[in-house]
């Protein structure tokens, strides 16, 4: 059963199916069907290191030498799934991504997009905006990102970005 369907109480994550709860290190703390049992250390779930960098949650692939990058002056606004690869997003934006960052100029302002591929044909796109932007500017950025997604998915569906 996927633990993402589960629930968090205090510092433990529990499975929705049988309520087995796990500590941060991945070891099982409690098996509700056997309340008196101390779960053996062999019962554990895989864990994944994570780091919060400026409101963005990062996970390492392999063993990176340095921590995650910091983006000064911007703050994360929203995350979106795009049914297109990064090449299609680049074509839609009319510019190339550098180190996973795409600066998309739209209506006289720039929206910064942090891109992470999810398989071959899907991209996770995190929208970053100026820290001191006001709500109207943030809404405009969110709508610009929607527009870019529409174009990129159209590009991907018509197969021109190859």
Partner 1 sequence: MKLYDYVLSPSCYKVRLMAALTGVTLDIRPVDFHPGAEHRGPELLALNPAGSIPILEDGDLVLTESSAMLVYLAATAAPQWLGNDAAGQAATVQQWLSFSQRLTASLGAARLHEMLLRPGDIDALRAQGTAALRELEAGLVERRIRGQRFLASDRPTVADIACFPYVALAPDGGVSLDPYPAIRLWSRAIRAIDGFIEMPGIHRLHELKPEPSPEGGEA
Partner 2 sequence: MTRNAMIDEWYPVGLVSQLDAHGRKTALMGEPIEVRLGEDGSAKVTGGNGRVLPACIRYGHVWSSLGDPQKPLFAIPEADQPGRRLVDVGVVRVRCSPLRAVENFLDIAHFPFVHTDILGAEPHTEVQNYKVEIREDDDEVWATQVQFYQPQAAKSAQGGITTQYMYRVPAPTCSILYKTCPPRPGEWDVITLFVQPLAEDLCDVWPWMALFDDETPMTDLIHFQQTIFVQDRSILENQIPGLLPLDPGMEIPTRADLTSVAYRRWLKRHGYTYGAQLVAQ
Question: Residue numbers of the site for partner 1 (CB under 8 A)?
Answer: 5, 7-10, 12, 14, 16, 19, 21, 30, 32, 35-38, 77-81, 135, 138-139, 142-143, 146
CB 21 → partner 1: shortest distance, Å?
8
- CA 105 to chain CA centroid, Å, is 22
- Let me know if 66 is exposed, middle or buried by CB neighbors in 10 A (0-12, 13-18, 19+): exposed
26 touches partner 2 by CB under 8 A: no
- CA 70 to chain CA centroid, Å, is 15
- Give the Cα separation of 115 and 80 in Å (integer): 10
CB 35 → partner 2: shortest distance, Å?
5
Pick one of partner 2, partner 1, none as the site partner of residue 131 (Cβ within 5 to 8 A by kind).
none
Relative to beta strand 56-58, strand 7-9 is unpaired
**Among the listed residues 12, 27, 29, 31, the single contact to partner 2 using CB under 8 A:** 31
CB 63 → partner 1: shortest distance, Å?
27
């Amino acid at each position: 059963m996927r633990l993402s369907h589960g629930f968090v109480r205090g510092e433990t994550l529990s499975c929705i199916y049988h309520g087995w709860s796990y500590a941060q290190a991945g070891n099982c703390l409690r098996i509700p069907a056997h309340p008196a049992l101390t779960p053996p250390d062999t019962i554990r779930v895989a864990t994944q290191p994570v780091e919060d960098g400026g409101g963005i949650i990062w996970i390492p692939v392999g063993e990176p030498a340095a921590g995650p990058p910091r983006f000064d002056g911007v703050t994360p606004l929203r995350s979106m799934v795009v049914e297109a690869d990064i090449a299609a997003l680049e074509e839609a934006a009319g510019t190339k991504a550098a180190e996973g960052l795409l600066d998309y100029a739209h209506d006289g302002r720039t929206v910064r997009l942090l891109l992470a591929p999810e398989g071959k044909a899907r991209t996770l796109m995190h929208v970053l905006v100026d820290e001191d932007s006001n709500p109207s500017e943030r809404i405009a950025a969110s709508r610009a990102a929607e527009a870019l997604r529409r174009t990129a998915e159209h590009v991907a569906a018509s197969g021109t970005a190859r």
